Chain A
Amino acid sequence: MVVGNIILRLRGSLEFKCQLDSTDVPHVQKVISRTFEALGSQVKAESLVLGLCSSPVFLWPNKGGHATAGEISPNRPCKDLQQLIQTDDQESSSRKSAKKDKKNPPAGIINLTLMTEVTETGVLSVAPTLLRERKKHHLLQTTLPMDCVVSVPSSESISVVCGTLVGALCSQLGDMEKVALRHMKGTALLIPQPFHFLLPAPVGLVTVVYPAGVPDSQLETRRKELHSLFELPDNRPYLRRANALHFPDEPYKDGYLRNPHVHLNHPVLENGKPYLVQGTYSYHHYMQDRMDDNGWGCAYRSLQTICSWFQQQGYVERAVPSHKEIQQALVEVGDKQGSFLGSRQWIGSIEVAAVLDQLLGVTSKIMFNVSGSLLRRELANHFLSEGTPIMIGGGVLAHTILGVAWSETTGQIRYLILDPHYTGAEDLQVITDKGWCGWKGPEFWDQNAYYNLCLPQRPKTI
């Protein structure tokens, strides 16, 4: 994100409605294009209104940025809009995740919503008329989920920013038209959906429109085009739907905590730095999903955390597997007998690797009988090149390693551990305070036990 810039996000639904007199392709394409053109006019109409979320402010972008609320005028800098947004102070202080806000301050995103004014002033009213038409046709109807994000200097005037937003809407309509026409079959119009991606510098924020209902696996050609356009490496995914930028102000729908480790203070070691997991994962632990696996499910939970990583980085589309599905997979590969199903048997790093392979198509490296001080450089290298969470099992426990840090001078070493033995609720405060996600010293490991590690490897694909 550019320093000194503000991000504005405009969302809303435009109604897409058209009459097809015949179903032959040229006619359909012409009508679809005309409908998109009409939507473009609608977006440039004076009746378009942008509502500033959580505020009583409304802007008329096609009337020079004229606004309600006396204090704001079109030539004021757009950063003034932020002051008008009413943050719910009472709510945030009572919530326990106040700590979360301290570590990750809101990115200053200004959210706007699309509206239309149905009233008109200064124009004479006209009695209504009714036109009845008898014409057989197919009526195509849907709503287009507009979602535009622009990054502008915070000193830019509101009227200019309004123009930029309307321009972004028009250009998104253009992208949507291309996608709609490309994937249209007969009268089946796939709804074009925008996704935002934060690509590595210097590219930054881009928005790509994908057709709904077409899985990522079938969109590889498009991604190849984009990877080459944006000069992205061709061995890791950046533009799968799961890679889409998650805006800080949006809650996750599934209820799991994401990346609790970012809320920790990383150890400050002399001449040392932390090597951490890359990307995002969800914290899976005992008692979640109404599954009482207290005492036996720790490796299952670690495996779930790893699966969530592959899903969220866009490598797989399947949901995180349940204990049942994990056991099923092991029976299928012949690793376990049928009696394993429904049991409370523990699994180890071998089984974890087997399931990752069977269900996700992910290969893993296994390290056996690692004891004493773990191989720190191997861990560091893993986090640098693969960046996936590591499952470690040994003795009677299984854990997930998310990072490692050591001092070259003093030899002090710390391991970032995500502990699946936690049985409480998704309370970030408790999880970080009590060390369920935390940096541990070498004393965390049982010096007399032998540990096996499962290091999942990133598939080399986009």
Chain B
Amino acid sequence: MCSHCLPPLYPVVRMGRGYIVEDVVEKYLSNLSVPGASCVTGLLIGQSSSQRDFVVLAVRTPQKDTEGQGSPSASRRAGNSLDHLDVEWVTEHARQVSRMLPGGLSVIGVFLVTPPELSKEAQNTLRRLIFAVDKHISKGRLWSLTEEDVTEKVTLHICSKTRKVVCRTFDVRDPKSSAKPADWKYQSGVCTSWPLLTCSVGLDLVFPVLEMHVLPQDMEKCMKEGLQTWAQQIEGGLCLINGNAMPDEVELLGGQKKNAKAVQQMFLAQILIPMAEPQSERRSTASVKVCSGSLTLKGMVQCRAYLHSNKPKAKHATEVIKRDVINTVSSRVEMFLEDLLMEGVDKGLVGVQQGLPRRVFAPVPGMSLCVCDYMFPDECVSDVSDRLKEMLDWETPEDSIDTSQEAVPEAPTIDIKNPVVQKNLRTKSTVDAGPKTPSEDPTEAHKSHKTYYAGVAMAAAIALLAAGTSLLYLSD
């Protein structure tokens, strides 16, 4: 029986959703080392469609260490009670992981392994977790959910002793929603024939910096506004698939014979933006704005998206690839801004083209899917490999990481005559690997850290600093 012709799971009308889960997830979950009476949280990654839901990956939340490397107190601290569970840590992990997922794939749920005595309390925790995770990963999103998007997310509870699995869903759109039972069924080769869509999108965007704004503080605001307009253009654009405009409701995989060998089809997407007259105001003169500068974003980004194999339609295909286009640009800009914030001093040079992170791809072990990561100009493949281990909990040989999809931009042109450039060149500081300034909460100890530009720790620090909460560090 092929993977997309599934029998109904019950002879009666099913009330809840049905999750089709890759076998490797079962292996991963059963191999999770859960010492003693501790709890383990993690993310479930996959894709939801109106009819079915698919889970292709499970990743445990990385360890956070607040006192030292591998000290006994750390594992004790890690929580044998659900009260000590660090929800913010889990959500930040989810946000970092989301950036590594191409279009179509997303964090669609969370799992929690607890000893039997905590099973009841676990349900409440899962509920808190799933709402918090969804809220956090939706922040800064530049595209909007549509009515057709599935807003049910899955929570999985696993008893560490009996290995019994309880699967429930919540509608994250409704804070008052109650848990609905759902089916959890393992299968092999769930995503082997998932179609892949790719495209390269050219960027040549100039964002004005209005007079009232000051660089670099207001850079984020200016970029966000500009990107929002661009994202709306992409969302409103027309998508050709393999050179054709397919009507929304046509099945993407229409030509495939039912018993044909499951093969991953590749589709090339092209995005056309209408240059239409704005309906709103009928001005008679051009608008004039006084500006103090500008921000120019140039390049050509590589985009990728996966669709499930359960009768996907053309409209789903255009949606996932467009969302990846928007995500990849906004993620990189976010990372760039976070990096600046973290550095404290803005060593960003004016008049110099600075490289934004470069997208690289890595295969998921045992599957025909890829995840992605972003390399800052001064990073190398080993950094990517380390991040993949930290975020997604698997080993990736460096030579399997594909860095060829996006080229490094040409050496930046420095306008030597620009007095600001000259000033910056004289006072340019090197990266400091020493301890950073303490956080607002004096009770938290801090550790020196390796300068991962986009590592969990730094991003978490930025995110939490920005939110005004206490700092957490991950030691290497």
Q: Interface on A for B, CB 8 Å cutoff? A: 11-17, 19, 47, 49, 51, 56-58, 68-69, 113-121, 123-143, 145, 187-191, 211-213
Q: Which residues of B contact A191 (CB under 8 A)?
A: 283-286
Q: Do residues A124 and B355 form an inter-chain contact, with CB atoms below 8 A?
A: no
> Assuming the A-B contacts A116-B275, A118-B271, A134-B215, are A128 and B356 also in contact, with contact meaning beta carbons closer than 8 angstroms in the complex?
yes
Does B442 interact with chain A (Cβ within 8 Å)? Answer: no
Closest residue on chain A to residue B360 by CB atoms: A127
Q: Which residues of A contact B333 (CB under 8 A)?
A: 130
Does B359 interact with chain A (Cβ within 8 Å)? Answer: yes
Residue among B286, B294, B359 making CB contact with A140, cutoff 8 Å: B286
Q: Which residues of A contact B269 (CB under 8 A)?
A: 119
Closest residue on chain B to residue A121 by CB atoms: B268
Q: Which residues of B contact A128 (CB under 8 A)?
A: 203, 297-301, 329, 332, 355-356, 409
Instruction: Report how far A190 CA is from B285 CA in the complex, Å.
Output: 4
Residue among A120, A138, A141, A143 making CB contact with B202, cutoff 8 Å: A120
Q: Do residues A130 and B354 form an inter-chain contact, with CB atoms below 8 A?
A: yes
Q: Do residues A131 and B352 form an inter-chain contact, with CB atoms below 8 A?
A: yes
Count A-B contacts at CB 8 Å: 213
Does B288 interact with chain A (Cβ within 8 Å)? Answer: yes
Closest residue on chain A to residue B296 by CB atoms: A131
Q: Which residues of A contact B272 (CB under 8 A)?
A: 49, 51, 58, 115-118
> Assuming the A-B contacts A51-B274, A68-B243, A127-B359, are A132 and B293 also in contact, with contact meaning beta carbons closer than 8 angstroms in the complex?
yes
Instruction: Report how far A13 CA is from B282 CA in the complex, Å.
Output: 13
Instruction: Report how far A143 CA is from B282 CA in the complex, Å.
Output: 11
Instruction: Report how far A28 CA is from B301 CA in the complex, Å.
Output: 35
Q: Do residues B284 and A212 form an inter-chain contact, with CB atoms below 8 A?
A: yes
- Classify the interface of chain B: helix, strand, loop or mixed: strand
A-B residue pairs in contact (CB < 8 Å), sample of 28: A12-B276, A15-B275, A51-B238, A68-B243, A113-B274, A117-B270, A118-B237, A119-B271, A124-B406, A126-B406, A127-B358, A127-B359, A128-B298, A128-B329, A129-B353, A130-B333, A130-B354, A131-B296, A132-B352, A133-B351, A134-B350, A134-B420, A136-B292, A140-B288, A143-B277, A143-B278, A188-B285, A212-B285
Q: Which of A19, A118, A134, A140 neighbours the largest number of chain B CB atoms within 10 Å of its CB?
A: A118
Q: Do residues B275 and A13 form an inter-chain contact, with CB atoms below 8 A?
A: yes
Q: Do residues A121 and B270 form an inter-chain contact, with CB atoms below 8 A?
A: yes
Instruction: Report how far A123 CA is from B272 CA in the complex, Å.
Output: 17
Q: Do residues B290 and A138 form an inter-chain contact, with CB atoms below 8 A?
A: yes
Q: Do residues B275 and A114 form an inter-chain contact, with CB atoms below 8 A?
A: yes
Closest residue on chain A to residue B290 by CB atoms: A138
Q: Which residues of A contact B211 (CB under 8 A)?
A: 136
Instruction: Report how far A51 CA is from B271 CA in the complex, Å.
Output: 13
> Assuming the A-B contacts A129-B356, A129-B412, are A142 and B283 also in contact, with contact meaning beta carbons closer than 8 angstroms in the complex?
yes
- Classify the interface of chain A: helix, strand, loop or mixed: strand
Q: Do residues A130 and B356 form an inter-chain contact, with CB atoms below 8 A?
A: yes
Residue among A17, A114, A120, A131 making CB contact with B298, cutoff 8 Å: A131
Residue among B199, B245, B286, B355 making CB contact with A127, cutoff 8 Å: B355
Q: Do residues A189 and B286 form an inter-chain contact, with CB atoms below 8 A?
A: yes
Q: Interface on B for A, CB 8 Å cutoff? A: 199-203, 206, 208, 211, 215-216, 219, 234, 237-238, 240, 243-245, 247, 268-278, 283-302, 329, 332-333, 336, 348-359, 405-409, 412, 420
Q: Do residues B296 and A140 form an inter-chain contact, with CB atoms below 8 A?
A: no
> Assuming the A-B contacts A124-B407, A137-B291, are A132 and B285 also in contact, with contact meaning beta carbons closer than 8 angstroms in the complex?
no
Q: Do residues B358 and A119 form an inter-chain contact, with CB atoms below 8 A?
A: no
Residue among B199, B288, B354 making CB contact with A129, cutoff 8 Å: B354
Q: Tell me the minimal C-beta distance from A86 to chain B in angstroms.
A: 11
Instruction: Report how far A211 CA is from B208 CA in the complex, Å.
Output: 26
In the complex, besides A12-B275, A12-B276, A119-B202, 16 extra interface pairs with C-beta distance below 8 angstroms are A13-B275, A19-B291, A47-B202, A118-B271, A119-B200, A125-B405, A127-B355, A127-B409, A129-B297, A129-B299, A131-B351, A131-B353, A136-B292, A137-B290, A190-B284, A191-B284
Q: Which residues of A contact B409 (CB under 8 A)?
A: 126-129
Q: Do residues A187 and B288 form an inter-chain contact, with CB atoms below 8 A?
A: yes
Q: Do residues B302 and A125 form an inter-chain contact, with CB atoms below 8 A?
A: yes
Q: Do residues B276 and A113 form an inter-chain contact, with CB atoms below 8 A?
A: yes
> Assuming the A-B contacts A119-B201, A133-B351, A137-B291, are A127 and B299 also in contact, with contact meaning beta carbons closer than 8 angstroms in the complex?
yes
Q: Which of B273, B356, B408, B409 neighbours the largest number of chain A CB atoms within 10 Å of its CB?
A: B273
Q: Do residues A139 and B278 form an inter-chain contact, with CB atoms below 8 A?
A: no
Q: Which residues of A contact B349 (CB under 8 A)?
A: 132
Q: Tell me the minimal C-beta distance from B413 to chain A in angstroms.
A: 9
Q: Which residues of B contact A129 (CB under 8 A)?
A: 297-299, 353-356, 409, 412
Q: Do residues A132 and B219 form an inter-chain contact, with CB atoms below 8 A?
A: yes
Q: Which residues of A contact B289 (CB under 8 A)?
A: 138-139, 141
Q: Tell me the minimal C-beta distance from A164 to chain B in angstroms.
A: 19
Closest residue on chain B to residue A116 by CB atoms: B273
Q: Tell me the minimal C-beta distance from B454 to chain A in angstroms.
A: 14
Instruction: Report how far A141 CA is from B294 CA in the complex, Å.
Output: 14
Instruction: Report how far A141 CA is from B291 CA in the complex, Å.
Output: 12
Q: Tell me the minimal C-beta distance from B131 to chain A in angstroms.
A: 34
Instruction: Report how far A117 CA is from B269 CA in the complex, Å.
Output: 11
Q: Do residues B300 and A132 form an inter-chain contact, with CB atoms below 8 A?
A: no
Instruction: Report how far A293 CA is from B203 CA in the complex, Å.
Output: 60
Q: Which residues of A contact B412 (CB under 8 A)?
A: 129
Q: Which residues of A contact B348 (CB under 8 A)?
A: 132
Q: Tell me the minimal C-beta distance from B42 to chain A in angstroms.
A: 31
Instruction: Report how far A191 CA is from B277 CA in the complex, Å.
Output: 13
Q: Which residues of A contact B336 (CB under 8 A)?
A: 130
Q: Do residues B353 and A127 form an inter-chain contact, with CB atoms below 8 A?
A: no
Q: Tell me the minimal C-beta distance from B272 to chain A in angstroms.
A: 5
Q: Tell me the minimal C-beta distance from A350 to chain B in angstroms.
A: 40
Q: Do residues B295 and A138 form an inter-chain contact, with CB atoms below 8 A?
A: no
Instruction: Report how far A269 CA is from B25 CA in the complex, Å.
Output: 90
Closest residue on chain B to residue A55 by CB atoms: B245
Leading 7 A-B pairs by shortest Cβ distance: A128-B299, A213-B284, A142-B286, A127-B358, A212-B284, A56-B245, A189-B286
Q: Tell me the minimal C-beta distance from A271 to chain B in angstroms.
A: 52
> Assuming the A-B contacts A118-B202, A142-B286, are A126 and B350 also in contact, with contact meaning beta carbons closer than 8 angstroms in the complex?
no
Instruction: Report how far A191 CA is from B281 CA in the complex, Å.
Output: 13
Q: Which residues of A contact B203 (CB under 8 A)?
A: 128
Instruction: Report how far A69 CA is from B333 CA in the complex, Å.
Output: 37
Q: Tell me the minimal C-beta distance from A116 to chain B in angstroms.
A: 5
Residue among A116, A121, A142 making CB contact with B287, cutoff 8 Å: A142
Q: Which residues of B contact A58 (CB under 8 A)?
A: 240, 245, 272
